[in-house]
Copies of this chain bind each other. A is one copy, B any other.
Amino acid sequence: MDVVLVRWPAERQRRERLRAAGDPRLLLLEPGVAPPDGGDVLEDWIRIPADEADLLDRLAGLEARAATTLPVAPVLDDDGVLRVGGRWVSLPPVEARITGALLGRLGLVVSRDVLGRAGWPEGAPGRNALDVHVLRLRRRLSEVRLAIRTVRSRGYLLEHVPGASVTSASVRRQEDVQQA
């Protein structure tokens, strides 16, 4: 999760949007202005001009806090880790990219075509590859209570699963199981 830099008070509206979206942000305070009312652990501020080191320190602190708060909306970070509701899974590169595309349109249909380009920006392999990755992705995402629904001849759609938890045994990959 990236921390966003926001000028204060110049970019007041932007700050509101970020706060509503639950994104962590660092306010860059113009000299003389007071820090705004806080109460949000995902917000911090620093007076400018400031040392590079100070700024990096504040950023690191914010990022760490952001990681420990429980995102109710799914968040995919740059390391292929998908967090949602206190749970997380790590996704391999191809599946992380596909997930990113689905996440960008959470609850909406994403065509196979778009998913293919997301997963393989340099050009897709065989036609079946996407199907197989969707299968694998389904198993992984079930651990964080997300599901990929099929919309026939249209594409796929990512949504939350209300139900109870899923045991790790029921989603174990059969490629591991069949070693015999």
Contact surface of A with B, Cβ cutoff 8 Å: 34-35, 38-39, 41, 44-45, 47, 51, 53-54, 57, 60-61, 63-65, 67-69, 77, 79-81, 87, 89-90, 92-93, 104-109, 143, 149-155, 157, 165-168, 172-173, 175-176, 178-180
Contacts and interface: CB of A to CB of B under 8 A. Distances in A.
Contacts of A54: 34-35, 47
A105 B61 CA distance: 9
Contact of A38 (B60, B68, B93): B60
A1 B54 CA distance: 27
Given A53-B34, A152-B90, A64 B39 contact: yes
A53 B32 CA distance: 11
Contact of A106 (B51, B67, B150): B67
A41 B53 contact: no
A9 to B, nearest CB: 15
Contacts of A104: 60, 64
Contacts of A90: 149-152, 154
Most B CB contacts (10 A, CB to CB) among A61, A106, A153, A176 go to A61
A27 to B, nearest CB: 11
